[in-house]
Every structure is written in structure tokens, then in C-alpha cells.
Amino acid sequence: MATIKTSNRKTNITSAMIKNFFPKNSPGRFDWIFILPFICFACGYFLIAHFYGAKEIQTPALIGKPLQEAARELSSRNLNLRIVTEKPDAELAAGTIVSQTPAAGKHIKENQSVFIVISRTLPRPLAPNCINKPIEQLQKEIAGLQIKKYHLPNRYPKNYCFAQSPAAGAEITDRLILYISTGTNKPVIWPDFTHKPLTQVQAFLKNHDIEAHTIYPEEQQKSPELDALGQEILPVMQEQELIVSNQRPLAGSLLILEADKLPHVQLEVSAN
């Protein structure tokens, strides 16, 4: 019976404390009883978030860096990477970061995302068909392209393109290389005209559209006389045949015969 009395006494004391804290007929008496659990929950949430929540860090500077490098840097800081779009840029390498959100230095929490815009290269031009076309005609077609020309002997007419790299229709990654023909001219060994008749040598040179300047023994220091047609007048000599005694270029010289740059030939003659 003593235990029962003690229990009843404790119950009476607790009831008295509640009555004093929440007087009878108080409008907020039962409201506090319902609000108290929510207040406890909120306090617990903020305490847990403070001690165990995600930490705030500064957003790293990513602009100008390659995509792979930015991904490694964000991963080391427990941040996520999100690509928003690609922006064409002719000067930057593909995959270079041109903008970011949040900006560098802004505070961000771990496991959040950084949104970026990366560059992409412009479409590369296609190589035009340049083969079998004169270089004058190609000037408009290759305008604005990086060009490298090589002039080589070939069976194609002079100043015609006979090869190209890359091929027609392929993308130009660096520059367009054109191989331009210089004609079929090849180095020739200049013949030996000495001890041969002058008329025979002149006829040979004329067949190749080459004119020779003749020097006679008695008039080596005089300018040759020309007729009305501009032909050299041979001096009056005996009916003996004139023979080539010396020549320029020398026999055995390697020459390239070009239509617009023929060799200057001198023949020194003497009487047979």
C-alpha cells in the first residue's frame, strides 16, 4: 500500500506542474503539445546537417582547360560535371571549356554539378578538283585556303596542275598541296659544235628556235650588221666554208631548254 501511495503522490505532482505551465482554459495549452515534436525534429536536423552535412568549397577555374583535365579536377573535389552545349570556334581546340556555371571562386557544396560549355571545331573545307586546270583558273577556287605549290616537270602543259593532296572532295586538315607542271623540259647535254660548218650549226639551232651570235676572226670587236629583216649579214669572205672554232655554252654543259628562257649562244668561226 505504501508503494501505491508513493506512485499516486508522484502523479499528483506531475499533474500540478502541467496545470501551472498550461493554465486551465489557456488557448495554447494543447497547441504546444503538438508543436513540440516538430521543434525537436528541426533541431535534430540542423545539428546533423551542421556536423555531418556536405561541406562548401570554392568552384575551380575551368575556362580554357581541356575537357579531360576539367573532369579530373572536379572529380578530385567530389563535384559533378555537366556539359550544356558545344560552341563552334575556329581558334580553340575541340573540347576546350569556354564558360562555366557557377563561376570560378563561387561557393558550391560537394556532389553538386558544374555546368560547362565546350568548343568544337568548324567544319573543315573540302578540297576542290584542281587536276588538269591552269593555275590562273584555280585562283578563284582555292581563294581562302592554305596552299603549298610544287613546280615539277611533267607531261601536262606548263602551269597546269597534275596532282593534288588531299584528293578532290576530301577534307583539308592542314593545307592543300598542288603540283604544277613546268612542262616536259628536261636537262639536255649541250652538243659540241666545234669543227662543224657554220651553216649546219645555224640550221640545227634554228630548228630549236635558238639564235646564235657569230663572231668572225677579223671582226671580233665589231657589232654584226643586220639586214632589213634583222638577220645578221655575213661578211664577204672567200668561198671557203666557215668552221666553228669555239662556242658558248661549252660542249657537255647541262641546260634546261625553256621557251621563255632560251640559252645565249655564241659561235666563234674561222676559215677552213
The confidence score (pLDDT) of residue 235 equals 55
Q: What is the arrangement of strands in the sheet containing 265-271, beginning at the earlier edge strand?
A: 212-215, 265-271, 242-248
pLDDT of residue 238: 46
Over residues 7-11, mean pLDDT: 51
Banded model confidence at residue 53, pLDDT cuts 50, 70, 90? low
Task: Determine the Cα–Cα distance for residues 209 and 139; give it in Å rounded to an integer.
Answer: 32
- Where is pLDDT greater, at 112 or 261? 112
Instruction: State the DSSP string of 137-170.
Output: HHHHHTTTS-EEEEEE--SSPTTBEEEEESPTTS
Which residues share a beta bridge with 226? 232
- With a cut of 80, say whether residue 213 has pLDDT above it: yes
pLDDT tens-place string over residues 56-86: 888 999 999 999 999 999 988 889 999 999 9
Residue where the block lists cell 661578211? 235
3-class SS of residue 195: coil
Average pLDDT over residues 189-197: 91
**pLDDT tens for each residue of 257-270:** 766 677 889 999 98
**Residues 47-61: b if buried by 16+ CB within 10 A, e if exposed:** eeeeeeeeeeeebbe
Residue of 43 and 194 predicted with greater confidence? 194
d(CA 163, CA 179): 5
Burial class (CB in 10 A: 0-12, 13-18, 19+), 244: buried
Per the DSSP assignment, residues forming a β-bridge with 81 are 114
First to last CA, the chain: 170
The overall pTM is greater than 0.85: no
Smallest CA-to-CA distance from 66 within 90, 98, 91 is with 98
Measure the CA–CA gap between 172 and 166, rounded to whole angstroms. Answer: 7
Tell me: pLDDT of 239 over 50.
no
